[in-house]
Structure 1
Amino acid sequence: MSRTRWRLILNGKSTGNTDLREAVHALRERGVQLEVRVTWEDGDAERYVAEAIDHGVDTIIAAGGDGTLSEVAETLAHRPEPADALPSLGLVPLGTANDFASAAGIPDAPLEALTLIAQEAARPVDLLNIDADGKHWWCANVASGGFGTEVTVETDEGLKKVLGGLAYLVTGISRLGRIDPIRARLRAPGFDWEGGFIALGIGNGRQAGGGQVLCPDAVIDDGLLDVTVIPELTGEVASTIGALLKGGKQGALEQVAHRTRAPWVEIEADQPITLNLDGEPVKARHFRIECVAARVRMHLHPGSHLLSPP
């Protein structure tokens, strides 16, 4: 293996992960110059990315959940350099649900995830750019709204630690008796929908909120958003929501879902609504979400479901 320089940006909640510590030592023994930085507060990731670029690092690795991945990807997206002039991006999934990693086929074991980064060339991938009432955000996986977003936001941190992704299902079941549709209008090229929805997914990736497969056909290198709207339902609400939470029974979703694929989508609502941007809840009355093609380069297996077929 050539003498490469990596910088691993670790979510502070995962500093006690012994498997990761051992994996870091193993990669160093293989010849990788791998340094670790730990995030404790807002702004840490941006500082560490800037530092890594100044140090000539080849690859920056997000070690954490979907939020950590988005935070690191966002700091790269803010840079003025083109994607091919920036360090490549890798992921070691250490979060509660790891929705992006699950859909992308990134191994859970830290050593396997780091080995994948070492063995697979980085590929250009898209990011979502979100304007929320004039404020700007970036998202690597899925912008989601509705019932699933409320479940994700309301799930207790202690419950997540004990149950992992199952915590979202437990919280969701407890909410089944109080599902209120959210009224909004969605507009995209060739698509105009207005009404009440119980779930909304705008994907770069395919799933969010602990396994809700809202955008089952999304890929992250086509320059397009996959938009899914699940309207308010008059019957069989519990079974449909159960399918959403468990990420299965896609046939149930297909019967009610409104879908489109477009380079951008606008969402307007009379009252502020919340979108979950990879764990970051953002509330606004107007959202414009654009797909920024090939904004970063990421290490993924060439057979990943999130990549377009060759």
Structure 2
Amino acid sequence: MANAHWYLVLNGKSAGDDAVREAVRVMRERGQELSVRVTWEDGDAERYVREAIAANAVMVVAGGGDGTLSEVAQALAHAGHDALALPALALMPLGTANDFAAATGIPVEPLPALQLAAHNPAVPMDLLQVEGDGQVHWCANLASGGFGTDVTVETHDGLKKVLGGLAYVVTGISRLGRIEPVSARIHGEGFHWEGSFIALGIGNGRQAGGGQVLCPDALLDDGLLDLTIVPELAGELMPTLGTLFSEGRHAALEQVAERARLGELWIEAEQPMTLNLDGEPLQARRFHVRCAPARVRMHLPAGCGLLVG
């Protein structure tokens, strides 16, 4: 793919990263045309993706965490329905937890991440489309609610810089005594659940919030949402959390969670609740979440376990 134009949409927090600069330099020396655009405020990613499309770029690399990945994916989704007519998507993981990269096996070092994008063909990938506040939002990895959402939203940037992914654990421990279950009705074709939950995951990907594996069987290209609901169990809240956050999470989820695989679903909460869309909190009482099959093409590792093929 040498000489085909790439755009790197880089989160402003990583603009001074020496490893990123070195990776860009190496790729350019190898003949790769690579334009770098740094985000500063809301709307920048959308504007840079439009610029990339106008420049006939073949790839847009999201340089940042899961939130940056979703921002760029959302901008591509806004640009049109035909993924083949749009630049492919790639990821240079530069976030704190890099949950999407961890689950898919994308290298967290900048140069290997770009090399992977150069050598592995782009494959179709689904996106989550979420309507919850009168507007449509897009999510590449996972939408979460309840305990995990509160932890992700409340974890301070300064703490993340010092402790990395451990910051989510510290924040989670600090919240254990004040978890408030969310009362809601969740339904889709052939599925209905009503009650109070402490954690909710709607997956295209499998994990969020620094390694919380909420949708352990989710696939990126199956045209379906993986739903996991961890209900409030009277008198068993702490043992439930202890089981979930210890080894064997997959088995624990099978024991305590309600799970389903759906094309779309609706959430109706008694009070306004927050869904975390890859780090972007969205608050509403009603949400409509659907899977948009093959909405983008993405460069992923060969043999990635999150693909049907």
Residue equivalent to 1:155 = 155
Q: Distance in 1 between matches of 2:52 and 2:247?
A: 37
**1:237 Cα deviation from its structure 2 partner:** 3.1
Q: Distance in 1 between matches of 2:97 and 2:263?
A: 27
Q: Deviations over 1:250-303 (max 9, x none)?
A: 212211010000100100012111000010000001000000000000000131
Aligned residue pairs total: 309
- Cα distance in 2 for partners of 1:246, 1:281 equals 26
Work out whether 1:215 is the aligned partner of 2:211.
no
Residues 7-26 of structure 1 correspond to what in structure 2 (within 5 A)?
A: 7-26=7-26
Asked if the contact 1:211–1:245 (Cα under 8 Å) also holds between the matched residues in 2, the reply is: no
8 Å contact kept, 1:124–1:297: yes
Amino acid at match of 2:224: L
Give the whole-Å Cα distance in 2 for the aligned partners of 1:216 and 1:301: 18
Matched residue, 1:283:
283
| 1:180 positional shift | 1.4
Does the 8 Å CA contact 1:212/1:247 hold for their aligned counterparts? no
Identity, % of aligned pairs? 64
Letter in 2 for 1:6: W
> Aligned AA for 1:104?
T
Q: Secondary structure at the match of 2:79?
A: coil
Pair 1:94 & 2:99 matched: no
Which has the higher mean CA deviation after the structures are superposed, 247-256 or 168-177?
247-256
Q: Deviations over 1:70-106 (max 9, x none)?
A: 0000000001351000000000000011111111110
C-alpha displacement of 1:234:
3.1
In 2 relative to 1, CA 197–114 (structure 1 residues): closer, same or farther, beyond 3 Å? same
In structure 1, distance between residues paired with 2:246 and 2:65 = 19
TM-superposed CA distance for 1:247, in Å, is: 7.5
User: Which letter does structure 1 place at the counterpart of 2:233?
Assistant: L
Unaligned runs of 5+ in 1: none
Provide the residue aligned with 1:53 in structure 2. Answer: 53
Report the AA paired with residue 286 of structure 1: R
1:67 alignment partner in structure 2: 67
Structure 2 unaligned segments of length 5 or more: list them: none
Matching residue of 2:193: 193
| SS across alignment from 2:180 | coil
Letter in 2 for 1:241: L
Paired residue type of 1:123: V
Give the match's secondary structure for 2:302. Answer: coil
Where do 1:1-310 residues align within 5 Å?
2-242=2-242, 244-245=244-245, 248-308=248-308, 310=309
Distance 1:261 1:183, change over 3 A: same
Amino acid in the other structure paired with 1:12:
G
Q: What is the TM-score of this pair, normalised by structure 2? A: 0.97
